[in-house]
Structure 1
Amino acid sequence: MLRTLLSIALLSFGTQSLLAVPTPEQLLRNQTHSYINESKLPESAESKEFATLLSKTPEWQRELCDSGPVEDAAKTVQVLFDIWKTDKELVKRPIDRAMATACALEGGHFDWNSEAMLERYEYFRDKWNLGLLNIMYKDLTVFERRYLAHGVQHRHLNGLESMEYQNTEVCLPAERYTGACWYARWILLNPFGDTIHGPLYYQPYRNSWTNAAEMIRNIGGVCGSLSNFGAAAAIANGVPAITMGEPGHCAYTVMIKHNQWQPAYSLSWKRGIHRPFYGQSSWGWHVLTNRAMADTKDVYASADIRRLAMDYGKKKLTGKALETIAIARRKYPLDWQNWQTSAELMNELNGPTSQWQELHQDTLQLLASTSPEAAWTLLDKYVYKHVLPEGKDKADDRERILLAYQKSISGWGVARWEYDRALSKQIKLLAGDKNLEDQFAVSCFGAHVKENTLTPVILEHQLSRIGKDDDRRSQFIASIGKGLSKGKGDDFNNVIDTLAKKILPDAAKNGDKSTFQFIGSLTKKVFKPTEISPEKFPGVLLSSGGTFTIDEPGNRWDNPARHWGVIEEHGGDFHTGSKNPHATIQLGNYGLLSGVTIVTRGGHIGRLNGAILETSLDGKEWTTVYTFSNVKRVNRIPLADKKIEAGYVRISHPNKQHLHFEKFHVYGKKIN
């Protein structure tokens, strides 16, 4: 397959050029030789023997060159040489050779020296020979073994004594290492009152146990110690794992099966992997990288095409280089190196605009659907500066190009990521035209309506940008609402629900009747009307056309999207929190009140007993007009004799009982 691809790539270059093309084996060997030359190994019989052996072993060359980034080739080869010197037969044992290479690659990345990496290699070699590692270890790729070689963030758990302890004491099936963190207890302060965030927490116990893992298991710690303990336990037993940073927290992840990683002790989707290989340190990049590296046949084939493109680039054969790297990224779009190399080659060779436009289209068609995050990184870092026209008079063209990215993505891709940052950066590229920025936000919302994953982010981001500009906010909401009012089906219903959950509480809080009513009225399409219709009081429904708010809107029992119907004939429902339970109506019209009707939810009707009904002209000074007792499912409170004028009506509960109604209607005569 690879040779077929290369042949197709080269047919247009002529017979003589085709004959001059180096083979994949030659290019691989050349790359290996360049690494050996960079290392400047000492002149000796052993170094020559090592270099010759490496040059004659294609499998070893691939493991070295095509198992993720080689960040420091000189140090990597030096570490590999130092390991090989102590065990020259490892080249004949594929499992040990793979582990030695992984240790060398991580030695080149991290501040491990040869002695430390040799210890790790010998640990895994010997444990495997003794049958003391998880069976998964046998089939790990060199790339996956790099997680074993790397170790965990807390370096004291990477020592051999700790690894020996955890190999003996925390021996589990691979999938159960997600719970290994709980072998140690969670405890913030030691018995002397020292916090774990200070230097004295473990100090009294340094000489009480022989290793850090045993000390942590017996003393305990918080998320950092526990997550590092859990990840280190997996690694000590030959199961890849890595720690992760989260906002105010430390977690970890374990490879429970080949190419299947499971977060552990994780509290957030915002995860920063402590050993990223490409792009950013996010969880999405971790998933994408491991998918790309899962099939070594594809990895090697992709690397062969990429090496050929880079060889053309060195020879300044621009057309051949760019055409060949295009084949690589189109055939193997998960491999980030193909995308990065495409951009770097075009920068080095001054690729024409047409080639940047091709890269832009390939990114949208082949990468964005799988990883919008990686696609955005490529566009933002490399591509947009070459395809976006400059100047305020070109803002419309920029908007069209930027919107193409939004239309190419669907949901989060491989994992949730900080999409709002990409949206913010795109909006900035529109050169400060607020009308165009708002139009772009509406278009983005429309592009994601059907899937309805990114719409809440777009909504929150845009409303934050608008701030207190009421006219601009109303115009934005009207624009997105106009499209939703014409939509049908579950997809549109889901978006309306999402929109109402966000908009209605804010509109009610700000006293924005028009927005509350406009968005609220859309929910009639989503929720069925309440079947109970109590007898009305004289006059009009004064609550209709107003706003409605409660304490803690959106709490675990409440859906704010259903609030609009509570004060309208349609009906809805709400459920307050318990800290300061209240349900407040800003009436659609000031009026002389004739009565109030309440339809409670079907359960826990008695909670309404003891609640008080209050009225106000301005929403600030309140007067109690009724105390509930002997309540039923339907409650009618006549108020005509009290001659009450009001603009606001609320029910609160001094006993902090929850309130939950389906209808809260206020009747009377309009006086404004």
Structure 2
Amino acid sequence: MKSFIPLFPLFLATCSALIAAPSASQLLNQQTETMIAAAKLEDGEVFTRELLSSEEWQRELNDSGPVTDPDKVIQLLFEIWKTDKSLASRKVDRQMATACALEGPRRNWTAEEMLPRYEYFRDKWKYGLLNVMYEDISVFERRYLARGVQHGGLNSMESMEYQNQEVCLPAEKYTGACWYARWILLNPFGDSIHGPNYYAPFQESWDNYAEIIRNVGGVCGSLSNFGAAAAIANGIPAVTMGEPGHCAYAVLTKPENWQPAYSLSWKRGTHTSFYGSTWGWHMLTTKAQQDQGGAHASGDLRRLADYHFSNKNYTKARATIRMARTQHPLDWETWQQSVQILTDSKAADSQWQELHQDVLKFLAPACGEVAFHLLDEFIYPKVLPEGDKNIAARKNILLAWQRASQDWGLARWDYEHAINRQLQLLGKDVVAQDSFMASLFAIHAEKNLFTSDILANQLGRVDKDEKRLQTFLAAIGKSLSKGKTDNFAKVIDTLAAKILPDAAKRGDKATFQYIGKLTAKNFPENKIKPDKFPGILLSSGGTFGIQKPGNRWDNPSRHWGVIEEHGGDFHTDAKPATATIQLGNYGRISGVVIVTRGGNIGRLRGAIIQTSINGTDWTDAHTLSKVSQINRIDLADKDIDAGYVRVIQNNNEPLHFHKFLVYGKKQN
């Protein structure tokens, strides 16, 4: 007798496999329905029907960045809709209402606080009183308008009305809107901006906070908030930022271009952030949202992955979210969800290793900073083997991220933090750590973007241990030349010749100064000591560059000394010859000192000293007619404020100085 095989379970399994997942539209609709149900709206049937009947509106709501407290978002959107029930038919107003609803909970603003903001932008747009850019920005970009700036007084309707009327500029000009107010530390009564009474005497003198700032003044915080708020009041996304000892801001000057303004450092922390607050995080998030079709597709895949996960089909959930992260690697939410799905499904080690490889292939080349955060926070604990016997394996895994991150990506960031963290993960073996640092240098030597941080970190670690120092220098020397050397001077000179011109071109003062100071040990201080001009040496701490550095007459490793009292040398090749200083300190110039090389002094005759605020627009300050080896040019009576100074020679003659020093009074 044949054994009986029950067919019913097999039939169920076959049916289950044949049942297709809901469509992207259906899943989007289900997500929105869940949010509406959680909001518990009263008399919300018409609103619900309108929202659920518009796929475009639902995508604007769900795929425009993180949705914080979804029930509160829906409640706020409903309250705005109740006051303007036709907004769904006007795309621009619908998008602005959605942006306000998304930002309200993140600000802890009630409908009474957010509704006037929506109405402000609705009415200004209706009457043609906003920048033309306003029409085409995305819901995500409108979130910056909805949120406003750090200083609350500038978010009032009175301040916004004032700035809309008084600070009307083309979009790209709002990077200079901060200068509508003057920089002044003490008010007319002698109260410091850092105290509580700076603006207090003027509360009744003008009608709003923006007008007070414009008339009284302030320092970087007030000025940056004023500039960003002015852009926002005119319908242009902007964000305020904190920098070390300074405040700055950034403006969306044109589609896909966020331009920092009044910025002194790459170390920026944005006051409106969605995941992380650094400039790199800002660029990642804004880049992801610039591709709105991609943002929607990524959202569809996340919803599908959630669907599979809720049905305990973990294999499909993991495969779907992997598709999302590899196709849309700038979308941080897909990486977050990848970690969550692997964690909640108790994924095997091979799944975490696959995620690790995806980070290296798809995210690290675009944004090493965010990739490292993801690895350090979630993935290294799963893929790094423990124990002293596994140091070599850990090293190889850690170096994989270094090889994948070959440049700054979307923005410069704190790479040295990653070095220190990786050293901790490697283990406490000093020899292994030194070997790891030498490997880092070898990986990054060719592009010279991270080498100065690596060198600074390692030299600090070895301190006065000469043996460790020489071992390290011998190791990195192999990365800099074909020959093997443990000669410190040669290694630093080679390094400087490769790094200093690039640092000057990028305006990277920190790199230029660090490597430049190392080179000072390799050539003697110039013995010519001209008289100084009043003030400080403004050129000190800056960068110095020429065209075609490293030509047959020029040694870039000596460029640093040219703008310092130590002295150095350079020799131009390209014509017209220019020698440009990005000043270490912006300031009011009192004088310039030029010490030329001993021969061919006459080549300097006819050269022009020019100054610039921004390094782009130049103004003639002095023409050199009578020249000698030592040239002292007094500029005190010209009231020149500058961030850059250059000498340009239009007479087909090269320039070659030992010293190019700029003196004056430091300004903010």
Normalised to the residue count of structure 2, the TM-score between the two structures is 0.75
2:236 to 239, 254, 266: 239
1:434-478 Cα deviation digits (max 9, x unpaired): 111111111111111111111111111111111121111111011
Q: Alpha-carbon deviation of 1:111?
A: 1.9
Report the equivalent of 1:275.
272
Structure 2 counterpart of 1:406, one-letter code: Q
Partner of 2:142, secondary structure, is: helix
Describe how 1:383-394 pairs up with structure 2 within 5 A: 383-394=379-390
1-side partners of 2:176 and 2:559: how far apart? 38
Report the equivalent of 2:162.
165
1:232-284 Cα deviation digits (max 9, x unpaired): 01000100001000000110000011121100111111110111112x21111
1:333-387 Cα deviation digits (max 9, x unpaired): 1111111111111111111111111111111111111111111111011111111
Residue 19 (structure 2) pairs with residue 19 (structure 1): yes
Structure 2 counterpart of 1:38, one-letter code: A
2-side partners of 1:374 and 1:447: how far apart? 20
Cα 1:449–1:38, aligned 2, differ >3 Å: closer, same or farther? same
2:414 to 415, 418, 440: 418
Instruction: Assess if the C-alpha contact under 8 Å between 2:540 and 2:563 holds in 1.
Output: no
1:121-144 Cα deviation digits (max 9, x unpaired): 000000000010111111111101
Partner of 2:481, secondary structure, is: helix
Instruction: Assess if the C-alpha contact under 8 Å between 1:484 and 1:496 holds in 2.
Output: no
Larger radius of gyration: 1
Structure 1 counterpart of 2:456, one-letter code: E
Report the equivalent of 1:427.
423
Report the equivalent of 1:403.
399
Report the equivalent of 1:479.
475
Q: Alpha-carbon deviation of 1:314?
A: 2.2
2-side partners of 1:27 and 1:575: how far apart? 60
Report the equivalent of 2:40.
40
Describe how 1:457-476 pairs up with structure 2 within 5 A: 457-476=453-472
Describe how 1:80-479 pairs up with structure 2 within 5 A: 80-278=77-275, 280-479=276-475
Q: Alpha-carbon deviation of 1:415?
A: 0.7
Instruction: Assess if the C-alpha contact under 8 Å between 1:575 and 1:660 holds in 2.
Output: no
Residue 72 (structure 2) pairs with residue 78 (structure 1): no
Instruction: Assess if the C-alpha contact under 8 Å between 2:520 and 2:561 holds in 1.
Output: no
Report the equivalent of 2:614.
none
Cα 1:476–1:126, aligned 2, differ >3 Å: closer, same or farther? same
Cα 1:32–1:599, aligned 2, differ >3 Å: closer, same or farther? closer
Instruction: Assess if the C-alpha contact under 8 Å between 1:388 and 1:398 holds in 2.
Output: yes
1-side partners of 2:131 and 2:19: how far apart? 48
1-side partners of 2:567 and 2:477: how far apart? 29
Structure 2 counterpart of 1:474, one-letter code: Q
1:51-90 Cα deviation digits (max 9, x unpaired): 2322222221111111100111121111111101101111
Structure 1 counterpart of 2:97, one-letter code: A
Report the equivalent of 2:31.
31
Partner of 1:263, secondary structure, is: strand
The percent identity for this pair of structures is: 52
1:183-227 Cα deviation digits (max 9, x unpaired): 111111001100011110000000011111111111111111111
Instruction: Assess if the C-alpha contact under 8 Å between 1:605 and 1:632 holds in 2.
Output: no
Instruction: Assess if the C-alpha contact under 8 Å between 1:243 and 1:273 holds in 2.
Output: yes
1:506-564 Cα deviation digits (max 9, x unpaired): 5876xxxxxx6xxxxxxxxxxxxxxxxxxxxxxxxxxxxxx7457999866889xxxxx
Instruction: Assess if the C-alpha contact under 8 Å between 1:356 and 1:387 holds in 2.
Output: yes
2-side partners of 1:487 and 1:273: how far apart? 46
Instruction: Assess if the C-alpha contact under 8 Å between 1:102 and 1:146 holds in 2.
Output: yes
Report the equivalent of 1:52.
49
Instruction: Assess if the C-alpha contact under 8 Å between 2:445 and 2:479 holds in 1.
Output: no
Report the equivalent of 1:6.
none
1-side partners of 2:556 and 2:387: how far apart? 52
Instruction: Assess if the C-alpha contact under 8 Å between 1:241 and 1:253 holds in 2.
Output: yes
Partner of 1:88, secondary structure, is: coil
Report the equivalent of 2:640.
none
Partner of 1:213, secondary structure, is: helix
Q: Alpha-carbon deviation of 1:483?
A: 3.1
5+ residue gaps, structure 2? 1-12, 485-491, 501-511, 528-536, 546-554, 569-595, 605-627, 631-656, 660-668
Report the equivalent of 1:63.
60
Instruction: Assess if the C-alpha contact under 8 Å between 1:166 and 1:213 holds in 2.
Output: yes
Q: Alpha-carbon deviation of 1:487?
A: 7.5
Q: Alpha-carbon deviation of 1:104?
A: 0.3
Structure 1 counterpart of 2:137, one-letter code: L
Q: Alpha-carbon deviation of 1:391?
A: 0.6
Cα 1:445–1:205, aligned 2, differ >3 Å: closer, same or farther? same
2-side partners of 1:172 and 1:357: how far apart? 52
Structure 2 counterpart of 1:62, one-letter code: R
Aligned length in residues: 534
2-side partners of 1:558 and 1:173: how far apart? 33
Partner of 1:200, secondary structure, is: coil
Instruction: Assess if the C-alpha contact under 8 Å between 2:496 and 2:556 holds in 1.
Output: no
2-side partners of 1:210 and 1:349: how far apart? 59
1-side partners of 2:130 and 2:344: how far apart? 47
1-side partners of 2:77 and 2:227: how far apart? 29
Describe how 1:536-551 pairs up with structure 2 within 5 A: 548=524
1-side partners of 2:561 and 2:282: how far apart? 41
Q: Alpha-carbon deviation of 1:576?
A: 5.7
Cα 1:485–1:176, aligned 2, differ >3 Å: closer, same or farther? same
Instruction: Assess if the C-alpha contact under 8 Å between 1:456 and 1:498 holds in 2.
Output: no
2-side partners of 1:93 and 1:299: how far apart? 22
Partner of 2:206, secondary structure, is: coil
Instruction: Assess if the C-alpha contact under 8 Å between 1:555 and 1:577 holds in 2.
Output: no
Instruction: Assess if the C-alpha contact under 8 Å between 2:131 and 2:170 holds in 1.
Output: yes
1:1-50 Cα deviation digits (max 9, x unpaired): xxxxxxxxxxxx98843533111112111111221222233xx3x32222
5+ residue gaps, structure 1? 1-12, 510-515, 517-546, 560-569, 584-597, 607-630, 634-658, 662-672
Cα 1:187–1:447, aligned 2, differ >3 Å: closer, same or farther? same
1-side partners of 2:233 and 2:407: how far apart? 37
Q: Alpha-carbon deviation of 1:162?
A: 0.5
Report the equivalent of 2:497.
497
Structure 2 counterpart of 1:311, one-letter code: Y
Cα 1:158–1:463, aligned 2, differ >3 Å: closer, same or farther? same
2-side partners of 1:122 and 1:137: how far apart? 15
1:141-197 Cα deviation digits (max 9, x unpaired): 110100000000000000001111111111111111111111111111001100011
